Amino acid sequence: MMIMKNIDQPIIIEPGLLSLFRIFMWIQWLILFLAFCNLSNSGNEGEAVQVVLSLFYSSILLLYLRTERLQRWLKYFYLPIPLLIATVTPIVAIALAVQTRLDNYLMGDASVTDAGTLILWLLAPLVVVAAQYGLFVVVIFCVATTGLEMFFAVQLAEIGSVSANVIWEQSIIRNLIFIAMGFIISRLIKEQRRQRKSLREANQQLTQYAVTQEQLVVSRERNRMARDLHDTLAHTLSAVSIQLEAVTTIWDTSPDVARQRIDKIQEITRDGLGETRRALQALRSSPLDDLGLVMAIRVMGAKASERAGFRFHFHAPDVIPELPSAIELNLYRIAEEALNNVVQHAQAQDVWFRLEMDKKILKLQIRDNGIGFDSDADPPEGHFGLVGMTERAQICGGIIKIQSDPTAGTKINLELGLAK
C-alpha cells in the first residue's frame, strides 16, 4: 500500500534538472540534424540508419519533455520513461548501424560502438540519473548499459568479426568515467539538498519568530492602550463616581456644597474628555511618519507644556541615524509616557529632554523638577506606565534607568546601542 501511494504521487524533480535535460537533448538533436543533412555526401548506409533512428528518438524526447500534462498524468513514471529511451535507443541505433555495415561487407573488424560517440549520447541520462537518484542508481545504470551492449556484441559476433573483448574493455573504461562523474554530481546535489533543507528550516524559524514578534508587539500595544485608557477614562470615571457619592450624601443637608461638587464633576469630566480625545488621536495619527522622531517628540513636548504649564527644554541634534520604524515607535512611546506622567502627577515647573549620539550609542534623557516618587518601591496596583517604558526599552535592546525622589523630581535615562 505504501509503494502504491508513493507511485501515485508526482515525483519531486530536482530544480532545473528538466531544463538541463532539454538543453542536452536540443544539443543532441542539432548535431544529429546536421549529420542528417550530410548523409547524401557520406554514402554510408550504416551511418544513415544510426542518424535517422537517433534523430527520431531525440525529436520524440523533446516533444515529451515539453508536455507538462504528461508529468501530471504519469507522476512517478514521468522521468524514468525518457531516461530509458535516452539510454537504450543510442545503443540499439549503433548496434543496428554496425549490423548494416556487416551485412553490406563495409566493416571487416567491426565493433558494436565507438566509445566516444556512446559516451556523448549517454551523458544526458547519466547526469539526470546521478542528480535525481544518486550514486547507487548510477551503478545500476552502468551495469545495465554494459549488459545491453554485451548482448548486441555477442549477437553481432556471429555475423562478423566483432570482438567482444574490445567491447568489454570500452565498457569498463566508460563505466569508470561514468561512476566518477556520478559520484561528483550526486555529492553536489546531496549538498544542495542539505542546504535547501537548512534554508527551509531557517525560513520556518524566521517566520515563527516574525509571528511571535508581531504577537508581542500587538500585546505590548494593547497593554499601552490599557494604560492610556486607565490614565484617562478610569481616573476620570473614578473621580466622578466619588464626587457623585458625595453629592448624594450632602444633597439634602448642604445643597450649595452639592452644587459646587456638581461643578467640580463637570470640570473633571471636561478634563477627562480632553485626555481621552488626545489618547484616541495618538492612536489614529502617525506623527513619526509625518515629522520624524526628533520633530515629533518636540511637538509632543510643546503640547504637553501647554496643557500642564511647565517649561519644556528640548536638546537634540538636527539629524540622527536612520532607525528601524519599530525602534522609533518605542522611543516615541517612552517619551510620550514620561511626559504624560509629568502632566498628570509631577506638577513640575521645568522638563528637560535631551537626545544625543555618543559614538554608536543613542542616549535619551527626560528629567523634571516636580514631585517624584520612591523608585525603589513597587509601583501601585493599576499603574503600568513605568513597567511599559521598561518593556519598550527591552524590545529596542536598550537599557533604561529610572531615578526618582519625592522631593527631587524624576530622571529617566535610556541608552540604546546601534548596529554598525
Please tell me the distance from the alpha carbon of residue 342 to that of residue 372, in angstroms, as a whole number.
9
Using alpha carbons, list the distances in angstroms from residue 15 to 18, 193, 300.
Answer: 8, 10, 55
Between 93 and 42, the higher pLDDT residue:
93
Using alpha carbons, list the distances in angstroms from residue 332 to 122, 124, 248, 325.
Answer: 68, 63, 43, 10
Region 132-151: what's the mean pLDDT? Answer: 89
Region 39-50: what's the mean pLDDT? Answer: 65
Please say if the pLDDT value at position 111 is more than 50: no
Mean predicted lDDT score pLDDT of the chain: 80
Please tell me the distance from the alpha carbon of residue 248 to that of residue 306, in angstroms, as a whole number.
35
Region 134-159: what's the mean pLDDT? Answer: 83
CA-nearest of 334, 374, 325 to 353 is 334
Of 10-14, 259-263, 314-318, 413-417, the one with minimum mean pLDDT is: 10-14
Please say if the pLDDT value at position 145 is more than 70: yes
Task: Note the pTM of the prediction, 2 decimals.
Answer: 0.51
Q: How many CB atoms neighbour CB 33 within 10 A? A: 13
CA-nearest of 293, 296, 355, 297 to 326 is 293
Determine the pLDDT at residue 162. Answer: 55
Region 256-269: what's the mean pLDDT? Answer: 80
Predicted confidence band of residue 340 (pLDDT cuts 50, 70, 90): confident
Report residue 47 as a C-alpha cell.
551511418
Please say if the pLDDT value at position 390 is more than 90: no
Region 245-266: what's the mean pLDDT? Answer: 80
Domains delineated in the chain: 2-206 (no CATH), 287-420 (3.30.565.10)
Beta partners for 314? 353
Element (H, E) at 71: helix 68-74
Region 221-227: what's the mean pLDDT? Answer: 69
CA-nearest of 96, 85, 99, 74 to 21 is 85
Between 407 and 188, the higher pLDDT residue:
188
Please tell me the distance from the alpha carbon of residue 412 to that of residue 396, in angstroms, as a whole number.
16
Determine the pLDDT at residue 119. Answer: 81
Between 302 and 2, the higher pLDDT residue:
302
Determine the pLDDT at residue 365. Answer: 93
Determine the pLDDT at residue 368. Answer: 93
Region 328-355: what's the mean pLDDT? Answer: 88
Predicted confidence band of residue 9 (pLDDT cuts 50, 70, 90): low
Determine the pLDDT at residue 113. Answer: 42
Determine the pLDDT at residue 413. Answer: 93
Beta partners for 363? 356, 415
Share of the chain above pLDDT 70, in %: 80
Please tell me the distance from the alpha carbon of residue 420 to that of residue 418, in angstroms, as a whole number.
6
Beta partners for 165? none
- Order of all β-strands in the sheet with 350-358: 311-315, 350-358, 361-368, 409-417, 399-405
pLDDT in tens, 263-306: 888 887 877 777 777 666 665 556 777 788 888 899 889 988 98
Q: Phi/psi of residue 368, each to 5°? A: -135, 165
Region 79-107: what's the mean pLDDT? Answer: 79
Contact 316, 322 (CB under 8 A): no
Determine the pLDDT at residue 255. Answer: 80
Contact 301, 339 (CB under 8 A): yes
